[in-house]
């Protein structure tokens, strides 16, 4: 008896096996029309009556079908008789579950390869070549996930381990940003900088992107506002420590030496990709990520999107009569979904409203176009500039939303800014002391580059 027949027979005669594997089986995994028909009827019966069908029930149901030929009906009858003549099933159910999982994986990959060939040959008109990497990736990720949720009492040990597990984060090179994020940006998150025009949204993202690359991280910078060359120029000014206005005057040999110096001290890569304004969505970004993986073996550790409001939604068609709240919220949700899918943090930015642009104390209500954006973001902060701050060479940061830490802890702080070299830098602690509502604590200890602070003592803690 071949494996497909064993699978179908055990679905009928062993309910434990049925519950474990039925959610992962698919009609296209079976090779013959008879097996596909029997599988469909088993699935339909189980969904309707919440129990496995009998051979008799399957036979009656198939006979009532009007869209099959007499020859197919006869083959189904013979197939069911073969199954019914031997009701014994394997006692090693876990072995059969493992074999079924392998069967599903192999069939998924086989079908994905055939489907990809059909796309390349032009026989499949519903998919384009850019979707091939995702089709193959989905097939390779097929597995049986037996988790049905977290049992609060039974899984307490796993929960305790989670509390003490060091979460992978990408640290900043700015001390106070590490403080408010407990050491950096975690994966699967959406992080937003709010600022008015010309305050420094792109400068902030270019600085952090450059810092991540120097740490040895792979960085993908998606720009929908400025050209690839303009973004690279800002990152050049930052990493080469040259005023952005002097780059054009820099001799080629000195420029090459500076670039080689950067190359020698990092293993990270930074790729900048430009898209036309308001024409790219997560569909384009996902295709790019798959192509970079296939063509350059490049997998980003962090993604920057410059900036969110001028992306387009993958779910809402351009020109649809829909309000800006829903549209921008949809873009934010799609970007956060992309972060979860590729297990990376995404950093982006948004504009303030007109009143927020002139305000020295912007809040979440000053987010332009959609209040749904801060509802979706994991971290959101405002970048604030004024004439006084410009004279000091500083920019103020105000936390608006923070899922990583208490947002009242260092609610406001300042960092140094060198606009000519597109850089941010830490300033002396004394510059923070006069900030109102800063949330500073007297016993606060600075975090190191990776967010580690002095360990708390629980000596004398009683239960």
Q: pLDDT value at position 66?
A: 82
Measure the CA–CA gap between 254 and 248, rounded to whole angstroms. 12
Ranked by mean pLDDT, the top range of 49-53, 85-89, 268-272, 407-411 is 268-272
Instruction: Kindly indicate the confidence band of residue 152, based on its pLDDT and cuts at 50, 70 and 90.
Output: confident
Mean predicted confidence (pLDDT) in 90-114: 87
Q: pLDDT value at position 444?
A: 45
Residue 206 has pLDDT above 90, yes or no: yes
Identify any residues that bridge with 383 across adjacent strands, giving them in sequence order. Answer: 397
Residue whose entry in the numeric block shows the structure tokens 């991280």: 217
Q: pLDDT value at position 375?
A: 87
Residue 249 has pLDDT above 60, yes or no: yes
Q: pLDDT value at position 443?
A: 42
Mean predicted confidence (pLDDT) in 411-437: 83
Residue whose entry in the numeric block shows the structure tokens 């597990």: 165
Residue 446 has pLDDT above 50, yes or no: no
Taking Cα atoms as reference points, which of 400, 282, 399, 397 lies closest to residue 344? 282
Q: pLDDT value at position 211?
A: 94
Q: pLDDT value at position 454?
A: 46
Measure the CA–CA gap between 101 and 143, rounded to whole angstroms. 6
Residue whose entry in the numeric block shows the structure tokens 């929908």: 224
Residue whose entry in the numeric block shows the structure tokens 């060479």: 393
Mean predicted confidence (pLDDT) in 118-138: 83
Mean predicted confidence (pLDDT) in 161-186: 89
Q: pLDDT value at position 322?
A: 79
Q: pLDDT value at position 437?
A: 58
Mean predicted confidence (pLDDT) in 74-103: 84
Residue whose entry in the numeric block shows the structure tokens 């019914």: 84
Asked if the peptide bond before residue 307 counts as cis, ω within 30 degrees of 0, the response is yes
Residue 38 has pLDDT above 60, yes or no: yes
Q: Which residue has the higher pLDDT, 435 or 351?
A: 351
pTM of the model: 0.67
Q: pLDDT value at position 449?
A: 44
User: Quick count: other Cβ atoms within 10 Å of Cβ 193?
Assistant: 23
Tally of residues, the chain: 463
Give the pLDDT confidence of 314-341 residue by residue, as tens digits: 888 766 677 888 888 999 999 999 999 9
Q: pLDDT value at position 325?
A: 81
CATH says 3-140 is which class?
mainly alpha
Q: For CATH 3.40.50.300, list the domain ranges present in the chain.
A: 169-432
Give the pLDDT confidence of 176-200 residue by residue, as tens digits: 999 999 999 999 999 999 988 888 8
- What is the dihedral sign for C-alpha 230, 233, 238, 239? positive
Q: What are the Cα distances from residue 387, in Å, to 56, 355, 399? A: 84, 17, 21
Distance of CA 264 to the CA centre of its chain: 30
Instruction: Kindly indicate the confidence band of residue 147, based on its pLDDT and cuts at 50, 70 and 90.
Output: low
Enter the CATH code of domain 169-432: 3.40.50.300
């Amino acid at each position: 008896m071949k494996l497909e027949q064993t699978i179908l027979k055990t679905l009928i005669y062993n309910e434990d096996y049925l519950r474990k594997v039925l959610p992962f089986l698919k009609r296209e995994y079976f090779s013959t029309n008879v097996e596909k028909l029997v599988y469909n009827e088993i699935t339909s019966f189980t969904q309707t009556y919440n129990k496995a069908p009998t051979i008799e029930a399957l036979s009656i149901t198939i006979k009532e079908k009007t869209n099959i030929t007499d020859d197919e009906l006869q083959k189904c009858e013979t197939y069911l008789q073969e199954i019914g003549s031997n009701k014994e099933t394997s006692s090693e159910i876990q072995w059969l579950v493992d074999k079924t999982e392998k069967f599903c994986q192999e069939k998924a990959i086989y079908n994905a390869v055939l489907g990809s060939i059909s796309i390349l040959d032009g026989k499949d008109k519903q998919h384009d070549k850019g979707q091939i990497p995702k089709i193959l990736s989905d097939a390779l990720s097929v597995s049986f996930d037996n988790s049905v949720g977290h049992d609060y009492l039974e899984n307490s040990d796993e929960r305790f381990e989670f509390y003490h597990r060091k979460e992978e984060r990408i640290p900043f090179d700015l001390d106070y940003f590490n403080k408010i994020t407990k050491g950096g940006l975690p994966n699967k998150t959406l992080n937003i900088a709010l600022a008015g025009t010309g305050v420094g949204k792109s400068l902030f993202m270019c600085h952090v992107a450059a810092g991540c690359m120097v740490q040895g991280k792979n960085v993908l910078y998606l720009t929908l506002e400025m050209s690839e060359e303009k973004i690279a120029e800002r990152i050049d000014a930052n990493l080469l420590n040259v005023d952005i206005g002097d780059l054009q005057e820099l001799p080629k040999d000195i420029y090459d030496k500076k670039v080689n110096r950067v190359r020698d001290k990092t293993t990270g890569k930074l790729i900048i990709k430009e898209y036309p304004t308001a024409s790219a969505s997560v569909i384009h970004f996902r295709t790019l990520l798959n192509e970079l993986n296939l063509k350059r073996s490049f997998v980003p550790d962090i993604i920057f999107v410059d900036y969110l409001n001028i992306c387009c939604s993958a779910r809402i068609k351009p020109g649809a009569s829909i309000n800006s709240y829903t549209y921008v919220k949809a873009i934010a949700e799609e970007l956060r979904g992309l972060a979860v899918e590729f297990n990376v943090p995404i950093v982006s930015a948004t504009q303030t409203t007109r009143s927020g642009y002139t305000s020295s104390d912007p809040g979440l209500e000053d987010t332009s176009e959609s209040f749904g954006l801060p509802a979706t973001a994991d971290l959101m902060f405002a970048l604030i500039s004024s004439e006084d701050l410009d004279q000091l060479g500083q920019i103020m940061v105000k936390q608006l939303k923070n899922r990583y830490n208490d947002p009242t802890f260092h609610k406001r702080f300042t960092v140094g800014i060198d606009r000519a070299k597109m850089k941010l830098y830490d300033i002396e602690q004394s510059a923070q002391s006069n900030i109102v509502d800063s949330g500073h604590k007297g016993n606060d200890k600075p975090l190191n580059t990776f967010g580690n602070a002095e360990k708390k003592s629980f000596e004398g803690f009683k239960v």
